[in-house]
Chain A
Amino acid sequence: MPTTAPSPGTPGEGPASRPGDAPSAGGLADVTASDSALRRFLHGLPGVDAVGLEARAAALGTRSIKTTAKAYAIDLAISMIDLTTLEGADTPGKVRALAAKAVHPDPTDRTAPMTAAVCVYPDMAATAKAALNGADVKVASVATAFPAGRAALPVKLADVRDAVAAGADEIDMVIDRGAFLSGRYLSVFDEIQAVKAECVRPGGTAARLKVIFETGELSTYDNIRRASWIGMMAGADFIKTSTGKVAVNATPANTLLMLEAVRDFRAQTGIQVGVKPAGGIRSTKDAIKFLVLVNETAGADWLDSHWFRFGASSLLNDLLMQRQKLSTGRYSGPDYVTVD
């Protein structure tokens, strides 16, 4: 791991000596020149007032989405789902069933859109890829010693390499929360860059990289904003709230905050980064609230599965039931959607 010794008080020094410092637009390369420069930059970002942030997220949750807008939102939400199975008990059969559901979410109604991706552990990536059989559903794989991320860097990188080789289109990596919380921001930045490099396939194309912060463990909104910027500056294609494996996962407030971050980042660098709330979003009502956050914070440019995803599995069935309700006028029930 190439780490530059901290050089206090010299922002702007030595960026050229760090090849691969991704977005150089907007002069942001300078701030990753050293740990201290990065710290100064991150701590200079505007603070977050928790009360105000949560009030805004709650206010946006009251928009009325009905009829045409609701039908659109439901299909959009389905198309944004990373249909996920991340269990120790995952088997090829389970993954194949999930892949089938991703392609035909509603067996009774073939007009239902496909989900964006299926999300599996690296050892299941090849199974998922084969099961999808060329359908336009991505394979996302949680690499980097998911979910704790407590492994040596070479192990994490090997994990990523395996997943990419197995055909993963997208890599969901976890950041080193320990490094972040102890203030070693540059180490977090460097690790993301190293993973990003492993996403490149032999032909020169690359898997898209989603960077998971585990917002529940970062604890403060200021930390979430800082992590967002580290991720984006290091080349994340997506920033993602959480693993779904801790007590607090995606919330309207932390997603709103990350949407503000991608909006500001694009304004400053011209680079658009996606957002993926994950964990805890179970109902259509909740999903639509998140779409309103996207629409009114980052803007309509993000209302697309290329730029916004839901990390969820139980959400899909609720969306399908609501979709059936809209088309038939009545509620069906859990036996009218599949259990996979």
Chain B
Amino acid sequence: MALSSAALSSAFEYAPAPESRSVVDIAPSYGLFIDGEFTEAADGKVFKTVSPSTEEVLSEVARAGTADVDRAVQAARKAFAKWSALPGSERAKYLFRIARIIQERSRELAVLETLDNGKPIKETRDADLPLVAAHFFYYAGWADKLDHAGFGRRTADGHSGANPRPLGVAGQVIPWNFPLLMLAWKIAPALATGNTVVLKPAETTPLSALFFADICRQAGLPKGVVNILPGYGDAGAALVGHPDVDKVAFTGSTAVGKAIARSVAGTEKKVTLELGGKGANIVFDDAPIDQAVEGIVTGIFFNQGQVCCAGSRLLVQESVQEEVLDALKRRLSTLRLGDPLDKNTDIGAINSAEQLARIQKLADTGEAEGAERWSPACELPTSGYWFAPTLFTGVTQAHTVARDEIFGPVLSVLSFRTPDEAVAKANNTQYGLSAGIWTEKGSRILAVANKLRAGVVWANTFNKFDPTSPFGGYKESGYGREGGRHGLEAYLAPSSPEGKR
């Protein structure tokens, strides 16, 4: 007899498919990585890092203080002389070696990142790690071609591009949402251009950076070229403020970015800031609706919405609003939330209790201000930090959820009537990092993209990254660009005839 689906429909449940934790060996404790050695903090302080999906303590990590920052900067300064004097092709060899080791160890690093960050293995394995390796490969390729990047010495007839020089010691502070990827964005161009690095990973996600320190040793990178200082905001502030740091690179919140800008003002330090965002994802009535729905999901639920360039404001043309919302709600009902190590999982855990509280508070504000809140039926695990994918409809520009960056899986839906209105609303934000356009009409893509004040504009896709493509913001989303040829500029000396350093 043919099977009856009524009897068996409940049998088509996907089997759990968790990645094995045994591929990664997490030590009970880790030190700071200074001058090629793991070492305790000068004041002996440590902190615990937990897995957001289970609240399990993964390891105890040394907490850097001011004295450690000083030690690390001195080590980087000392290493700078030799490192910057190497021919570009020699530096490239190290970078290529690091890139290959990352590829070889990518499964281990993906599992580690998922454990420490809470994001689904699907994303660490298929997005983060391939991009991490790609960034090192890409900037390894630039290391011996800096003469041709166009950022070197200025001559009478403009940039000659010849003999570009590194800045010195780069102090880099990265966030917890893409711990290893942000490390790659910072370290790869810095090393390619001949700078040395002191990097502070976020306090909730220090582990992959410490594994990277091990990779540097495995690659035989000279001591002191890369130093890793796990720690809190005080260590970050000490690093940014250290007088012997020549370049500051920060990715994180706008509030901290402003503090950094204030602290380096008046110094000769070069700064790049990659800060918050409130990206507009604009769906026109002639959009490929099914793919737009996928793009909306990718835009806001990728990495639980903890993405600075998330498409957290959906601007949908009123004539298709109902259709798009119906399709979106139907699609959200198929999202799978749960164990981040399971390859079927679409939505993992929120990175920390603090972040969860912040998301909850902003969502409550949205409700209090009269926006309509909707989530699919969704069972949340009992331990760990979880937030169900959430939609706010009936949102206007005046609502908090349309203006403040939530940094969580919360989408605010607004509507518009004409392309001009879409552009006006999309630009009506203090941020300007990303935007998306969904339309079948090529001319409209070009016309609208030209008017959007955002560093990245995606057309008929969202949240796609590539090392060759510069990334950065307008307005309070920061300044400077990372990635691509432009990403080299921030690590090369300003073009004066003789140069000061």
Judge if B172 is at the interface, Cβ distance under 8 Å. no
Give the total of B residues in contact with A, Cβ under 8 Å. Answer: 30
Per-residue CB contact flags for chain B residues 283-312 toward chain A (1 = under 8 Å, else 0) read 000111111001100000000000000000
Q: Within the assembled complex, what's the spacing in Å between the Cα atoms of A64 and B15?
A: 6
A277 to B15, alpha carbons, bound, how many Å? 25
Q: Please report the C-alpha to C-alpha distance between residue A260 and residue B122 in the assembled complex, in whole angstroms.
A: 24
Question: Which B88-147 residues have C-beta < 8 A from chain A?
Answer: 122
B288 surroundings in chain A (CB, below 8 A): 46-49, 52
What's the minimum C-beta distance from A270 to chain B, rounded to whole angstroms? 16
Pick the interface stretch among B5-13, B32-40, B390-398, B400-408. B5-13
> Is residue B223 within 8 Å, beta carbon to beta carbon, of the partner chain?
no
Interface residues of A in 104-130 (CB under 8 A from B): 113-114, 116
What 1/0 mask marks residues of chain B from 1 to 37 whose CB sits below 8 Å from any chain A CB? 1111100110111111100000000000000000000
| Interchain CB contact under 8 A, A260 and B334 | no
User: How far is B335's CA from A296's CA once the two chains are assembled, in angstroms?
Assistant: 10
Q: Does A300 contact B (CB under 8 A)?
A: yes
| B60 on the A face (CB < 8 A) | no
In the assembled complex, the CB of B136 is this many whole angstroms from the nearest CB of chain A, namely 25
Tell me the residues in window 70-90 of chain A with beta carbons closer than 8 Å to chain B beta carbons: 70, 72-73, 75-76, 79
Whether B15 lies near A68 (C-beta < 8 A) is: yes
CB of B344 closer than 8 Å to a CB of A: yes
Interface string of A177-207 (1 = CB under 8 A from B): 0000000000000000000000000000000
Whether the Cβ atoms of B3 and A52 lie closer than 8 Å is: no
Contact status B289-A46, CB under 8 Å: yes
Q: Do B12 and A51 touch across chains, with their CB atoms under 8 A apart?
A: no
Closest B residue by C-beta to A71: B11
Q: Provide the bound-state CA to CA distance between A65 and B16, in Å.
A: 9
**Which chain A residue lies CB-closest to B15?**
A66
B12 x A295 contact (CB < 8 A) = yes
Contact of B294 among A46, A52, A66, A75 (CB under 8 A): A52
With A52-B291, A305-B3 as contacts: A76 and B461 at CB distance below 8 Å: no
CB within 8 A of B291: which of A56, A69, A295, A304?
A56
Are A76 and B8 also in contact (CB < 8 A) when A63-B14, A114-B2 are? yes
CA distance A291 to B286 in the complex (A): 30
- Asked if A303 CB lies within 8 Å of chain B CBs, one says yes
Nearest A residue to B440, CB-CB: A47
> B460 within 8 Å of A by Cβ?
yes
B343 at the binding interface (Cβ < 8 Å): yes
When distances are taken between beta carbons in the complex, the residues of chain B under 8 Å from A65 are: 14-15
Please tell me if the beta carbons of A52 and B295 are within 8 angstroms of each other in the complex. yes
- CB-based contact A51/B461 at 8 Å: yes
Given A72-B8, A296-B334, CB of A49 within 8 Å of CB of B1: no
A75, B4: Cα distance in complex, Å:
11
Bound state CA distance, A64 and B4, in angstroms?
A: 23
- Residue A328 at the chain B interface, CB threshold 8 Å: no
**Given A49-B288, A305-B2, A69-B14 contact (CB < 8 Å):** yes
B339 to chain A, nearest CB (A): 12
Nearest CB on B from A256, distance (A): 9
Contact of A69 among B3, B4, B15, B440 (CB under 8 A): B15
Given contact pairs A64-B344, A76-B3, A79-B2, A47 touches B286 in the complex (Cβ within 8 A): yes
Inside 8 A of B122's CB, which chain A residues have their CB?
62
**Residues on A with beta carbons closer than 8 Å to the beta carbon of B15:** 64-70
CA A278 to CA B15, docked complex, whole Å: 27
- Nearest-neighbour CB distance to chain A for B58, whole angstroms, equals 25
If over half of B's interface residues share one DSSP class (helix, strand or loop), that class is named, otherwise mixed; here it is: loop
Cβ of A136: which chain B residues have Cβ within 8 Å of it? 1-2
Instruction: Please give me the residue from chain A that is nearest to B16 by CB atom.
Output: A64
Task: For A113, list chain B residues within 8 Å (CB).
Answer: 1-3
Residue in B closest to A76 when the chains form the complex, CB atoms: B3
A65–B14 CA distance with the chains assembled, in angstroms: 5
CB distance A53 to B3 under 8 Å?
Answer: no
* Cα–Cα, bound, A240→B72 (Å): 66
A28 CB to closest chain B CB, in angstroms? Answer: 16
For window 234-289 of chain A, which residues contact chain B by CB distance below 8 Å? 260, 267
Instruction: Find out whether the CB atom of A116 lies under 8 angstroms from the CB atom of B2.
Output: yes
Question: How far apart are B432's CB and chain A's nearest CB, in angstroms?
Answer: 25
Name the CB-closest residue of B to A44: B286
In the complex, chain A residues whose CB is within 8 Å of the CB of B17: 64, 66
| Complex contacts, B287 vs chain A, CB 8 Å | 46-47
Q: How far is the CB of B468 from chain A (nearest CB, A)?
A: 18
- Whether B5 lies near A304 (C-beta < 8 A) is yes
List of B residues within 8 angstroms of A69 by Cβ: 11-15
Q: How far is the CB of B170 from chain A (nearest CB, A)?
A: 36
Residues in A with CB closer than 8 Å to B14 are 63-65, 69
Taken together as a complex, chains A and B put the C-alpha atoms of A53 and B289 apart, in Å, by: 11
Closest-CB distance, A223 to chain B (whole angstroms): 14
**Shortest Cβ distance from B241 into chain A, in angstroms?**
45
> Chain A residues with Cβ under 8 A from B286's Cβ?
46-47
Per the bound structure, the CA–CA distance linking A4 and B269 in Å amounts to 77
Give Cα A232–Cα B13 distance, bound, in whole angstroms. 30
- A217–chain B nearest beta-carbon distance, Å: 22
**Binary interface encoding of chain A residues 294-306 relative to chain B, with 1 for a CB under 8 A from any of its CBs, else 0:** 0110001101110
Most chain A CB atoms below 10 A, which of B287, B288, B460 = B288
With A and B bound together, what is the CA distance between A301 and B9 in angstroms? 9
Neighbouring B residues of A303 by C-beta, 8 Å: 5, 9, 12
Known: A51-B461, A65-B14, A69-B15. A56 touches B4 (CB 8 A): no
Given the interface pairs A49-B460, A304-B5, the reply to whether A63 lies near B294 with Cβ below 8 Å is: no
B205 to chain A, nearest CB (A): 25
Q: Measured between C-beta atoms, what is the minimum distance from B322 to chain A in Å?
A: 12
Min Cβ gap A297→B in Å is 9
Q: Is the CB of B11 within 8 A of A68?
A: yes
Nearest neighbor of B326 in chain A, beta-carbon distance: A267
Q: How close is B327's CB to chain A, nearest CB, in angstroms?
A: 9
A113 to B292: give the CA distance in the assembly, Å. 40
- Top-8 shortest CB links A-B: A52-B291, A64-B17, A66-B15, A72-B11, A304-B5, A46-B289, A49-B291, A47-B440
Sampled A-B contacts (19; CB under 8 Å): A46-B286, A48-B290, A48-B291, A49-B288, A51-B460, A52-B288, A53-B290, A53-B291, A56-B291, A63-B14, A64-B343, A68-B15, A69-B14, A72-B11, A79-B3, A113-B2, A300-B9, A300-B12, A305-B3
